[in-house]
Structure 1
Amino acid sequence: MPDAALTADHLTRRYRDGHAEVTGCEDVSLAVHPGELLVVRGRSGAGKSTLLRLLGGLDRPSSGTVRIGDVDVSAASEDALVTLRRDVVGFVHQDFGLLPTLTAAENVELPLRVARRPGAERDDRVASALSSVGLDGHARQRPGQLSGGQQQRVAIARALVLPRRVLIADEPTGQLDSETAAQVMELVVALTRERGVATVVATHDPLVIALADRVVELRDGRVRAGRHAA
């Protein structure tokens, strides 16, 4: 098996809520390899979103480390984190996170504009990304003209329009019906395998859990159980 693309070592995140100290994540260690789908399951409030924010460099741990490849994310400068989130880590959210005034193609193009890629390259990459998620004919439609499943596909295309090494998805099927959710997750699995992406999905959806290579369960911010896929 190739070296891990993403590792967490004794990861802990505590923060203040009024006068109380709250532990969102405690002593979590895990590794995710290229081409692997890891599911983090747990009830609401178990710490899934906190863990994903730490893994993706959106938040810093109170203690412990996160590494993506050779980069110590937990100790990186703000400029380094911006570069990491721009070039290395893709994010997919439950609410899709699309800009309603932009077309599907324009939403997918955003990371390329931020990365200052040339216009011709942007056009080629956007077309390829939309094709990879089965939306060739929807490039000019805005989010309000698309179904929930199509919007999530646009979000996935945007997350992977650059050659990401890591994909972080927080409840990506939460707003989808079961049939659409299954289609979206089958797409995520296929792209994970084809592109060698290390993918972490937080969910309590049994359909998603069934597709995982590995599952870890969070309770009160701690890993309580884990399994390999059968």
Structure 2
Amino acid sequence: MSTLAAEHVSRTFTTDAGDVHAVADVSLEVRPGELLVVTGPSGAGKTTLLNLLGGLDRPTSGRVLLGDADLSTLGDDALAAIRREQLGYVFQSFGLIPVLSAAENVEVPLRLLRMQPAERESRVAEALEAVGLGAHGAQRPYELSGGQQRRVGIARALAARPRLLLADEPTGQLDSGTAATVMDLIGELVHARGVAAVVTTHDPALARRADRMLELHDGAARADRVSAPAPTGT
């Protein structure tokens, strides 16, 4: 059974210059432990699609299902609860709070869940260890490299053990070597933890690290295919 399914999803924005069809009749599904990469040029609709999949925006038509829940019909409170409890996000910008340590940044979503302090501490340590930053919990973002900051963002997204991970251009601010390492890390964590994941990127080399790849052009899906795994560390 799929964790996430989008059925004929479209999103149209009305502007003074006319309607903009940011996403046009896209269907997809992602199963537990599967990494789906959405690729395409800038302006193809990747971020808009990700916002629809995560319940941050509502489709003009079609529907998005997370398990049995139709995100398209839920009220704001129910949507907020699902995003808090079942979804993890990695944003284009690192999105870390500068005055907090790496561990405190990872802890933020756990505090929103009102998790007990001992459990929070355990989850934070586990998440940082999983991304190779177990010894860096006390450091502030400005004391970390770009790749390390991205790893903190991934740890934060996974700390609450979500069913679905969404990552919008998670390698966009990184050099090619670090970007490949981060994509490999996401793939390893998704497969090891059985999390369904959707990652957007404009880089075809990174997209080839996915289990499946969906190409978007002008908001429409051009292809959904199995990707040949790329060698790790390249």
- TM-score, normalised to structure 2, is 0.95
Task: Map Cα deviations across residues 180-214 of structure 1 (whole Å, 9 max, x no partner).
Answer: 11111111001100111111011011332111111
Paired residue secondary structure (2:223):
strand
Matched ranges for 1:213-228 at <5 A: 213-228=211-226
Q: How far apart, CA to CA, are the structure 2 residues paired with 1:130 and 1:174?
A: 21
- Write out per-residue CA displacement over residues 25-70 of structure 1, whole angstroms, 9 at most, x where no aligned residue: 0100010011111111110001000000000110000010000011
Any residues of structure 2 matched to 1:165-180 within 5 Å, and which? Answer: 165-180=163-178
- In structure 1, give the amino acid aligned to 2:160: L
Give the SS at the match of 1:138.
coil
2:121 aligned to which of 115, 120, 123: 123
The aligned counterpart of 2:15 is: 17
Q: Aligned-pair RMSD on alpha carbons?
A: 0.9
**Preserved CA contact (<8 Å) 2:4 2:31:** yes
Aligned position for 2:193? 195
Q: Distance in 2 between matches of 1:153 and 1:228?
A: 26
1:106 partner SS: helix
Give the CA deviation at 1:20. Answer: 1.6
| CA distance in structure 2 between the partners assigned to 1:205 and 1:19 by the alignment | 30
1:143 to 141, 148, 154: 141
TM-score between both structures, scaled by the size of structure 1: 0.97
1:44 aligns with 2:42: yes
| CA distance, structure 2, for counterparts of residue 100 and residue 25 of structure 1 | 34
CA contact (8 A) 2:110 2:120 kept: yes
Q: Distance in 1 between matches of 2:71 and 2:224?
A: 24
* Structure 1 residue 19: Cα displacement: 4.3
1:185 and 1:73 mapped to 2: Cα distance?
A: 28
Equivalence for 1:89: 87
Give the secondary structure class of the aligned counterpart of 1:176: coil
Residue 144 of structure 1 aligns to a residue whose secondary structure is helix
Q: Secondary structure at the match of 1:61?
A: coil
- Residue in 2 aligned with 1:206? 204
Question: Does 2:56 match 1:58?
Answer: yes
Gaps of 5+ in 2: 229-234
Partner Cα distance (1:49, 1:84) in 2:
19
- Structure 1 stretches of 4+ with a deviation exceeding 3 A read none
Output the CA distance in 2 between the equivalents of 1:140 and 1:20.
50
CA distance in 2 between partners of 1:178 and 1:194 (Å) = 24
Q: How many residues align?
A: 228
Partner residue of 2:107 out of 106, 109, 116 = 109
Q: Percent identity?
A: 58
In 2, the alpha carbon distance for the partners of 1:11 and 1:76 equals: 16
